[in-house]
Amino acid sequence: MRIAIVGAGLAGLTAAYELREVAAAEDSQVDVFEASDRIGGKLFTVPFNDGPVDLGAEAFLARREDAVEFFTELGLADSLVEPSGKSSLVYSGGELQNLPRGGVMGIPSTSAPIAHLVSEETARKIDAEADTAAINWTVGEDRSIGKLVRERYGDEVVDRVVSSLLGGVYSCLADDLGIRATVPQLAEALDALAEAGERVTLSGAVSKIEQSRPAPGGGEAKPVFNAFAGGYAELYETLAEKSGADIHLDTFVSGITFDAKNSTYTIAGQGVPGDAEPYDRVIVATPAPTTARLLSKAAPEAAEALKPVKLASSAIVGFKFDSDAGLPDSSGLLIAADQPGVHAKAFTFSSKKWPHIKNRIGDGAVIRASFGRFGDDSLAREDEDTLVDYALDDLLAITGFDAREAGVSEIYTQRWFGGLPRFDENHLATVATVREKLTAQPGLDVTGAWAGGVGVPAVVADARAAAKRVREG
Ligand SMILES: Cc1cc2nc3c(=O)[nH]c(=O)nc-3n(C[C@H](O)[C@H](O)[C@H](O)COP(=O)(O)OP(=O)(O)OC[C@H]3O[C@@H](n4cnc5c(N)ncnc54)[C@H](O)[C@@H]3O)c2cc1C
C-alpha cells in the first residue's frame, strides 16, 4: 500500500507514526510531504544557549490521559515536566491583578471572583443575571461566547477577562469564538439546563460546572498542564524517527487528483518527485484553507464546505535576560483586550512557570512575549526590532521590570501567519459537513487542529483516528 501524507506538523507526523507498520511492510511506502524546511509545524523548539525553549506551543493539557499514554508509548514519559504552579496575572484598568479563579474561562457564576476587575455596576449585573429573562437556548445549538457573555454580564467581563483568557489559547477575541468548540463544558451545562426544563441562565450553567468539580483537597492535585523538558522537538523528532516514513522537506503540494478507474491519487507540487507512483490513500494534514485548496479536485464538495474557516496570526518573541530581579513572581500575565497603550497580548515568564527552565539558567529569566489576534495581522508583520521594543516597553510599564537594565542576551522571533483556526460558532458544523462529504471519497482523509481541536492532545487524537481510518480502508 502507498500512502501520502501532506504536512509534517503534529497531525501529519502523528498519522505517519500510526502508519509505521505500513511503512515497514514490503512493497509499501509512506511519504510525508512538507512545504517548509523543517518538521513540526506550529511546534517549534529553538536552541537558547542554556537549553531548548518552545516558540510555538509550549505545554499540553495533562488531564488528557490519552495524550500522556501516547507520549509514554513513544518512550517520552521521563521527558514530561510539571509547571511551578505559580499563579498568573491579568493587566486590566492600568493595574496588575490576580487572574480570577473558579468559573470557567473567566466566566464566573457570581461577581465575587472578578469583582476586582469590573465596575460595581457590572458586578451587580452579574449577580442579578439569574433573575433576568432566561436565555432562549436550544439543545445542541452554538453561539458566539463573547456575544452571550456581553448580553448576560456586560462588556467589561468579556473585554477584561474572557477575551484575555480565550485569546491566550485561540488568538481570537471572545466575540469571534463559538461556545461549543472553545468552552464545551459550558455548552453542555446550557444543554443540560434546557433539557431538564430548568431556567437557562449563564450563572446557572457556570454554577452547574463548578458543582460538578471535585472538592479541593480530595486526593493529590495534579497540574493541569505538562511540557517536554527538551521542548516539543522531543515529540516531533521522535514521531518522525519512529514513523519510518520518508519525509520530503521543501516540498510544496499544490494539488491532489483522483483516478476513479484505479482508485488512486496523484500528488502534484514543487519538489514532489516527478516519477512518484500514484498513492492508494492520502491524508491531508495542513491548515484549513490549504486543505480546502488541496481537496478542490478530488473532493470538491468537502473543499467548498471547508472554505469559511479563517485563520488567526500571531508572533512570539522569546528573550533570555541576564537577571530576573524585579520580575513578578508569577507564571506570566495576560493583557485585557480593552487595555489601551499596550502592544503585547500576553507574557509567559517561562523561567518562573517551568522549574526545568529556571534550573538551567540560574539568575536569568526566559520570557515569551505574544502578539496578535484574529482579524489584525499588523503586529505579526512588524519587524523584529519593533516587536522587541514593544515587548520591553510593555514589560517595564506593566510590571516595572526593566528588561534593558537586566541585560538582554538572546532573542528569537517567530511569526505564526495563520497560526490557529478561528473556532467560531459555525466551526463544529463545518467540520461535520466536511467529514460527511469526504465519506464519499475512498482513501482520502483530513486531520489537523481545525478538524480535531486546537490543543496538542486533541490534534494527536484526531490524527490517530484519521490514520486508523486510512489503514483500515
Ligand atoms: C503560538 C502558538 C502557541 C500554541 N500553544 C499551544 C500550547 O501551549 N498547547 C497546546 O496544546 N497547543 C498550542 N498551540 C496549538 C498547537 O500548536 C497546534 O494546534 C498544533 O501544533 C497544530 O498541528 P497541525 O499538525 O494541525 O498543524 P501545523 O502545525 O500547522 O502543521 C501543518 C504542516 O503542513 C505544512 N503545509 C502547509 N501547506 C502545505 C503544502 N501545501 N504542502 C506541504 N506541506 C504543507 C506546514 O508547513 C506545516 O508544517 C499553539 C499554537 C500556536 C500557533
Supply the DSSP string of 239-306, one letter for each residue: HHHHH-PEEESS-EEEEEEEETTTTEEEEEEETS-TTPPPBSEEEE-S-HHHHHHHHTTT-HHHHHHH
pLDDT band at 473 (very low <50, low <70, confident <90, very high): confident
Distance 366 CA to ligand 1 centre (A): 23
Q: How far apart are CA 371 and CA 379, in angstroms?
A: 6
In this structure, the number of other CB atoms found within 10 A of the CB of residue 386 comes to 12
Task: Pull the grid cell for residue 469.
Answer: 481510518
Q: How far apart are CA 386 and CA 394, in angstroms?
A: 12
List the residue whose alpha carbon is closest to atom 35 of ligand 1. Answer: 7
Does the beta carbon of 232 lie inside 6 Å of ligand 1?
no
Does the beta carbon of 45 lie inside 6 Å of ligand 1?
no
User: Given this structure, which CATH class describes domain 99-212?
Assistant: mainly alpha
pLDDT band at 426 (very low <50, low <70, confident <90, very high): very high
Residue 209 near residue 185, CB atoms below 8 Å: yes
Instruction: List, for residues 118-160, the tens digit of each pLDDT value.
Output: 999 999 999 999 999 999 999 999 999 999 999 999 999 999 9
Whose CA is closest to 366, among 101, 99, 42, 45?
45
Does the beta carbon of 7 lie inside 6 Å of ligand 1?
yes
Question: Is the pLDDT score of 262 beyond 70?
Answer: yes
Mutate-to-test residue for ligand 1 from 17, 42, 60, 283, highest number of ligand atoms within 8 A of CB:
42
Instruction: List, for residues 51-60, the tens digit of each pLDDT value.
Output: 999 999 999 9
List the residue whose alpha carbon is closest to atom 36 of ligand 1. Answer: 7
Distance 7 CA to ligand 1 centre (A): 9
Does the beta carbon of 190 lie inside 6 Å of ligand 1?
no
Question: Is the pLDDT score of 215 beyond 80?
Answer: no
Backbone angles phi, psi at 279, to 5 degrees: -110, 145
Does the beta carbon of 447 lie inside 6 Å of ligand 1?
no
Q: Which residue has the cell 455548552?
A: 187
Q: How far apart are CA 1 and CA 25, in angstroms?
A: 9
pLDDT band at 171 (very low <50, low <70, confident <90, very high): confident
Does the beta carbon of 8 lie inside 6 Å of ligand 1?
yes
Q: What are residue 30's DSSP bridge partners?
A: 3
Question: Is the pLDDT score of 221 beyond 80?
Answer: no
Report the pLDDT value the prediction gives residue 357, as an integer from 0 to 100.
98
Does the beta carbon of 406 lie inside 6 Å of ligand 1?
no
Instruction: List, for residues 365-375, the tens digit of each pLDDT value.
Output: 999 999 998 88
- Over residues 203-213, the mean pLDDT reads 95
pLDDT band at 196 (very low <50, low <70, confident <90, very high): very high
Residue 292 near residue 306, CB atoms below 8 Å: yes
The structural architecture, per CATH, of the domain 311-421 is Alpha-Beta Complex (3.90)
Q: What are residue 311's DSSP bridge partners?
A: 421
Q: Please report the atom of ligand 1 found closest to the CA of residue 314.
A: 1
Question: Is the pLDDT score of 40 beyond 80?
Answer: yes
pLDDT band at 218 (very low <50, low <70, confident <90, very high): low
Whose CA is closest to 322, among 368, 363, 292, 371?
363
Number of alpha helices (DSSP H) and beta strands (DSSP E) in the chain:
21, 19
Distance 448 CA to ligand 1 centre (A): 8
Boundaries of every domain in the chain: 2-43+229-309+423-472, 99-212, 311-421
Distance 11 CA to ligand 1 centre (A): 8
Report the pLDDT value the prediction gives residue 220, as an integer from 0 to 100.
64
List the residue whose alpha carbon is closest to atom 1 of ligand 1. Answer: 56
Report the pLDDT value the prediction gives residue 216, as an integer from 0 to 100.
65
Task: Pull the grid cell for residue 188.
Answer: 453542555
Task: Pull the grid cell for residue 216.
Answer: 479541593
The residues, ordered by sequence, that sit 6+ positions from 151 with a Cβ below 8 Å of its Cβ are: none
Question: Is the pLDDT score of 217 beyond 70?
Answer: no
Does the beta carbon of 314 lie inside 6 Å of ligand 1?
yes
Q: How far apart are CA 12 and CA 10, in angstroms?
A: 6
Mutate-to-test residue for ligand 1 from 256, 286, 417, highest number of ligand atoms within 8 A of CB:
286
Q: Please report the atom of ligand 1 found closest to the CA of residue 253.
A: 42
Strand segments (E) across 59-206 = 60-61, 80-81, 88-92, 95-98
- Over residues 280-286, the mean pLDDT reads 98
Distance 12 CA to ligand 1 centre (A): 10
Residue 147 near residue 183, CB atoms below 8 Å: no
- Over residues 329-353, the mean pLDDT reads 95
Please determine, looking at this structure, whether the domain spanning 2-43+229-309+423-472 carries the CATH number 3.40.50.150: no
Question: Is the pLDDT score of 219 beyond 70?
Answer: no
Report the pLDDT value the prediction gives residue 4, as an integer from 0 to 100.
97
Q: Is 116 exposed, middle or buried (0-12, 13-18, 19+ CB in 10 A)?
A: middle
Distance 401 CA to ligand 1 centre (A): 32
- Over residues 332-355, the mean pLDDT reads 95
Whose CA is closest to 465, among 60, 62, 174, 453?
453
Beta strand pairing call for 311-321 and 408-421: antiparallel
Q: What is the mean pLDDT of the chain?
A: 95
Share of the chain above pLDDT 70, in %: 99
Question: Is the pLDDT score of 333 beyond 90?
Answer: yes
Residue 123 near residue 150, CB atoms below 8 Å: no
Distance 9 CA to ligand 1 centre (A): 6
423-435 burial, b at 16+ Cβ within 10 Å, e below that, comes to bbbbbbebbebbe
Q: What are residue 373's DSSP bridge partners?
A: 376
Q: Please report the atom of ligand 1 found closest to the CA of residue 287.
A: 30
Does the beta carbon of 225 lie inside 6 Å of ligand 1?
no
Identity of the residue numbered 144: S
Report the pLDDT value the prediction gives residue 194, as an integer from 0 to 100.
97
The residues, ordered by sequence, that sit 6+ positions from 275 with a Cβ below 8 Å of its Cβ are: none
Report the pLDDT value the prediction gives residue 178, as an integer from 0 to 100.
97
List the residue whose alpha carbon is closest to atom 2 of ligand 1. Answer: 56
More confident: 168 or 281: 281
**End-to-end Cα distance, the chain:** 11
